[in-house]
Structures are given as C-alpha cells and as structure tokens.
Amino acid sequence: MSSTPSPFTRRHFLRTGTGSLFAPAIITAATTLRAQQKADSNETLKVGLIGCGGRGSGAANQALSAYDKNSKLVAIADVQQTQIDKALANLTAIHGERVAVAPDRIYTGLDGFQKLLASDVDVVILATPPGFRPMHLTAAVEAGKHIFCEKPMAVDAVGYRMAVAAVEKAKQKKLNLVAGFCWRYDVARVEAFKRLFDGDIGDVVAGSHTYHTGPVKPMPKADARPAGMADVEWQVRNWYNFSWLGGDGLVEQAVHSIDKLCWAMKDAQPVAAVGVGGRQIPAEGGNIFDHFHVAYEFPGNIMCHIAHRQIPNCFGDTSDIITGTKGKLLIGKVGGGEPMIDGEKRWRWKGQKKDMYQIEHDELFAAIRHGEVINNGDRMMNSTMVAILGRTAAYTGKRITWEDMLKSQLDLAPEETLKWGDSFEPTPLPKPGVTPFA
C-alpha cells in the first residue's frame, strides 16, 4: 500500500483561533459552476466513496437511492482492499450497473483519498475513521466537491480547527456540506424540536441524555495480531479502540446524544464541563474509556448531563429528557418510544416514519440538482467540539472551559509523515487527576 503523506497538514492549526460564529444549517443559492451545471442539466452525478466500512457502504447505498436516481458510484478508496471488495459486492447487488467503478478508480493506501479527489467525482462521501476526517474534509473542499461528512468531524482541538477552516472555505465556494448527524433529519425529532423552540415546554432549564450500550468494536486479543503487522496498520484495523483514530466512545458514538443536547440549546456553546470516566473492563491494547458522565454548564446556569457506557450485560438505553419551565420533552425509552411532551401542552408524535439516513442524502442530492447549497458545517463542528470538551474534562478530571478548548494544543495524531508500516505508540490510557490538560 502507498505511504505517501498528505500535503494537507494539521500542525499549522496548533495556534490558530477559529473566529467562527456558530449557527443553524445555512441554505443559499449555489453559484459554483459545477453545481449550476448539474442544476441545469440531466447530467449524471458522479459519486466517490472514501472509507468502505459499514457506515460508508450504507451512506453510498443511500446516495444511490436518493432523489432522481441519476447518479453513479464511480470511484472508491480505502486502506484495505478487502473492505473495498466487500463494499463493491454489496452495492452492486443492490444497484447493479449504477455501481460503475473501473479498476483504475479503486484507490488503496493512506493517500488513496487524494487520488479519488483528483478524479472527476461530483459528490464525495467521507466515512473513514474520524481521526482522518479533518484532513479529508479539507482536501475535499479544496478539490471543490460536494460533501457528505460522517460524524464526528474531529477527535482533538487541532483537528477541530482544521475542520472549521474547511467549513468556512466550503461556504465561500458554495459547496454542499451535509453532516452525518442523522437525528437532525428524523421527521419525529424535527417536529419535537420545533415544538420546543415554539415554547411548548417553556424555557429550557436542564437536559439529561443517556447513551448506554455494549462494546462497539472490542479490541482483539494481543495474539490475534498477525506477525510482522506494524503499529499503524494494527491500530487502523482496530480504530475504534484508539483515541487518535476514533476519539473514544463519547466523541464517536454518544456524540449523537450530544448533538441533540446542542440542538436543544440552540447550538449555543457551553461555558464549561466537568466529567468522570474510566475503563471498567480491561482490554489488551487500546486507550479508550468504556464509561463517561459529563456535566455541561451553559449560560444562565443551565446544566445538561450526558452519560455514556459501552459495557456488556448492562442496562441499555438511549434517551433524552429536556426540561422546561412548562413541561418536559421526552425522547427514547423514557418517553415510551417516539418523542412526547409531558406538561401544559401534552403531545406525542404519531406521524409516518421515514428513514433519516435516506433523508440526509435526498436533501443533499436535491440541493445539488436544484442549484442550492445546504451547509451543516457550523452546527456539526459545534457538536463535535462539545463532545471533545466533555471527553477532555473526563480524561483530566478538571473543569475545562470552552475557551480553554478553543486554545488547546491537543493533538492526538502521529507525525505528518505517517506511513502504513510505521511504529507508533499512542497516548496511554488517561488517568483523571494525572493526565494533564494540553
């Protein structure tokens, strides 16, 4: 596999402030040549997939199922050929000739994304391990592609600043940028939050969110590592268990609940966070926690809590309780399933269910075809940083402010000369009260 380093580096963002103001998704008229060409013709939209795991393959399926069906998958990239083969087989079985990836459009290696972006694809799906996301997002924007970007968008402060800069450039270029925070596209939750913002529960005074589940991708036994396999390859193959690649469970998985927390707070930034967490079930390798609890302080002394656990044989629950002065919005098991309001204005959602994953891509491809621009960039970066803030508070045991995180030098990644066969010792398992804030 190729080991050419990327020209899109992270480290010049170490001391760069963002200066970004966060706001809801922005929809404007597109004026980029490529978007206008697609709007004015029946030309086939060419799709490229970067990252061929389960979520990447799922997103590619939804992309090919979206809008007017006049799209084709024409390029694909992953560090593992086996992942590419599996994705192509599955997608071809569903979409047939619309999967039109020629052999010279199959790119492997850490630099495969660059080769794909140098091709004539119109839309790119970014679905690699999130540690690579800031670099891939930056490159996709530089290449002038419309983007579906899976969550989270960064795993540390340096990556966050890099991704924020890419979001700003995407606005300037009027590129579509749709985020994989899928609950924002769920029809039931969209209606529930509309009622919240209309004042049906009064003023929000507190939030409580849970994401209790089992292990996602457990670390294999040490003796499962093939002889001679270098650190970087081993870690990428088991990316979920390493914070530089996955960000830990709070940032990679429970960020969905954090995104709903942020949604309820109208995407305001928290003042600070205090957290606890640790590793209850030992693992042979990896450096992530299996449980967290974070308390976020928002302006007006509003406290919002998130609890996350990935331990087997425990109670599982993903719920959201948003408390207001006139009632509560209940989502998940706590509300008996679909969203409901308990209070002065009682309500329960009873509409027709729709696939939120499909809606994301329906809206993306419709916007491209209609010459419009959807940009989820500001809110997706806000939710990502709120998750990083909470994880950092739990890792260190300190009260960390939002301003602290914006200035943070936290950089979990290897050097820019990363190669597939390199040795790399990631940061050790954090110890609250010992691990310093960077």
Domain extents for the chain?
11-184+359-379
| Contact by Cβ (8 Å): 91, 48 | no
| Those residues with Cβ within 8 angstroms of residue 41's Cβ, 6 or more apart along the chain or in another chain | none
- DSSP β-ladder status, 291-298 and 302-310: antiparallel
- Print pLDDT tens along the chain (438 aa): 333 334 345 544 333 333 222 233 444 555 444 555 565 567 899 999 999 999 999 999 999 999 778 999 999 999 999 999 999 999 999 999 999 999 999 999 889 999 999 999 999 999 999 999 999 999 999 999 999 999 999 999 999 999 999 999 999 999 999 999 999 999 999 999 999 999 999 999 999 999 999 999 999 998 999 999 999 999 999 999 999 999 999 999 999 999 999 999 999 999 999 999 999 999 989 999 999 999 999 999 999 999 999 999 999 999 999 999 999 999 998 877 889 999 999 999 999 999 999 999 999 999 999 999 999 999 999 999 999 999 999 999 999 999 999 999 999 988 766 788 888 999 999 999 999 999
Confidence (pLDDT) at 16? 35
pLDDT score, position 4: 39
CATH code assigned to 11-184+359-379: 3.40.50.720
pTM value is 0.93
pLDDT at 260: 98
Residue 384 has which token pair? 């990502």
Q: Compute CA distances 99 → 48, 150, 293, 411, whole Å.
A: 11, 21, 43, 38
SS3 174: coil
Sign of the torsion formed by the C-alpha atoms of 103, 106, 109 and 114: positive
Cβ atoms of 235 and 424 closer than 8 Å: yes
Residues in CB range of 114: below 8 A, 6 or more apart: 4, 6, 139
- What is the predicted pLDDT for the residue at 333? 86
